[in-house]
Amino acid sequence: MTTVYDFTVKDRQGNDVSLSDYKGKVLLIVNTATGCGFTPHYEPLEEMYKELKDKGFEILDFPCNQFANQAPGTDDEIHQFCTLKFGTEFPQFKKIDVNGETADPLYAFLATEKPFAGFGKGLKNAALNKFADMNNKAFGDKAYIKWNFTKFLIDREGKVVARFEPTFDMKDVKAAVVAAL
């Protein structure tokens, strides 16, 4: 059975990092952007990381520019923005694609394990869904991720146990992380 530990990703400098290095930890894998309405999610993510990292928790940050070009900078520029504005300390990896033919295999796996189930109810969520659908038309059946700040919760065995769209309350995300720990 495939787990996240079977994947290798690139760090910000382009070096290979095996996700098996994170065996035994609870992971939250997030595709991020610096110019998105959800960019303030960095703040509760960093708070959660500081509070829970000593209990075996890691956040893996994958910048992505596929959603309305909201992560246009270089890997170094993105990292500098995140550390200066939000004080992030969790690992940030090389910018990747999460949709289409060039989607990182990790994200194709994550989205296959936990497919999109909706942004939730309400006018704002319906508007985001319409905008996301327009943005992701070019990716066809490989539109794995609908928008920035989609979060995948991975248990200590490397299995994908939950998916949280950016519209989900960060308190609910944290509660799920705590339960997984």
Tens digit of pLDDT for each residue in 53-77? 999 999 999 999 999 999 999 999 9
Q: What is the pLDDT of residues 72-85, one digit of tens each?
A: 999 999 999 999 99
Residue 96 CA to residue 74 CA, distance in Å, equals 11
Report the pLDDT value the prediction gives residue 125, as an integer from 0 to 100.
84
Residue 82 designated active-site: no
Residue 161 CA to residue 165 CA, distance in Å, equals 14
Q: Which of 17, 36, 108, 161 is catalytic?
A: 36
Q: How many domains does the chain fold into?
A: 1
What secondary structure letter does DSSP report for 5? G
Triad 179, 180, 181: Cα angle to 5°: 90
The pTM of this model reads 0.95
The average pLDDT across 156-168 equals 97
Instruction: Output the domain CATH number for residue 160.
Output: 3.40.30.10
Residue 155, domain extent: 4-180
